């Protein structure tokens, strides 16, 4: 991905995604959202960061429409807000699963994976797999080519 006249670094979709997701703690906030946490204190408890940092990360995710902020009121309490994944946010799930499976395999906790994600209908383990639009898979990096104006020397075998 060398820089050329036609190519600007911030055109890269990875970089554009990381501009939203790449701050420390953000992925952990999303992890909590995917596993059903909606309220500030629940998320805080799961993530374990400072309150003001969580406030900041939630604001960024709402600003970029990854989470939406909705009012709720427990009986006898003042109105508060909870955070729910939008469609745009739910589509981040493959990133989370891909991180989780790499971690499970290469940096496992001594006590084993604390979470296993299963297919709701059949109970089999869920994995993030690379496939092509013609249905071939699972692919590895070596099965792929990178093409486009930012790829080095036109067409380049990845890895």
Of residues 116, 117, 157, 119, the one with CA closest to residue 140? 157
The distance of closest approach from Cβ of residue 148 to a second copy in the complex, given in angstroms and rounded to an integer, is 4
Of residues 83, 82, 65, 64, the one with CA closest to residue 73? 82
Does position 91 interact with a second copy (CB under 8 A)? The reply is yes
Looking at the Cβ atoms of 9 and 78, the one nearer to a second copy is: 9
Looking at the Cβ atoms of 76 and 107, the one nearer to a second copy is: 107
Return d(Cα 63, Cα 116) in angstroms, integer. Answer: 31
Containing 67, the helix (H) or strand (E) segment is strand 67-72
Out of 50, 70, 80, 108, which residue is the one contacting a second copy (CB under 8 A)?
A: 108
Do the beta carbons of residue 19 and residue 61 sit within 8 Å?
Answer: no
Out of 40, 56, 60, 117, which residue is the one contacting a second copy (CB under 8 A)?
A: 117
Containing 156, the helix (H) or strand (E) segment is strand 156-157
Strands 80-85 and 67-72: antiparallel
Out of 36, 71, 76, 154, which residue is the one contacting a second copy (CB under 8 A)?
A: 36
Does position 101 interact with a second copy (CB under 8 A)? The reply is yes
Does position 126 interact with a second copy (CB under 8 A)? The reply is yes
Stretch that binds a second copy, among 45-53, 55-63, 68-76 (CB under 8 A): 45-53
Looking at the Cβ atoms of 74 and 107, the one nearer to a second copy is: 107
Tokens of 105: 């395999």
């Amino acid at each position: 991905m060398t820089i050329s006249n036609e190519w600007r670094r911030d055109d890269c979709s990875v970089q554009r995604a990381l501009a939203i997701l790449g701050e420390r703690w953000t992925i952990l906030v999303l992890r909590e959202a995917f596993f059903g946490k909606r309220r500030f204190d629940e998320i805080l408890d799961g993530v374990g960061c400072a309150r003001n940092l969580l406030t900041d990360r939630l604001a960024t995710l709402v600003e970029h429409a990854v989470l939406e902020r909705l009012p709720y009121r427990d009986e006898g309490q003042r109105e508060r807000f909870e955070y729910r994944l939008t469609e745009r946010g739910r589509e981040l799930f493959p990133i989370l699963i891909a991180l989780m499976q790499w971690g499970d395999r290469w940096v496992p906790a001594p006590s084993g994976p604390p979470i296993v994600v299963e297919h709701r209908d059949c109970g089999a383990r869920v994995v993030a797999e690379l496939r092509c639009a013609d249905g071939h898979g699972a692919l590895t990096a070596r099965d792929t080519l990178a093409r486009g104006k930012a790829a080095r020397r036109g067409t380049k075998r990845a890895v």
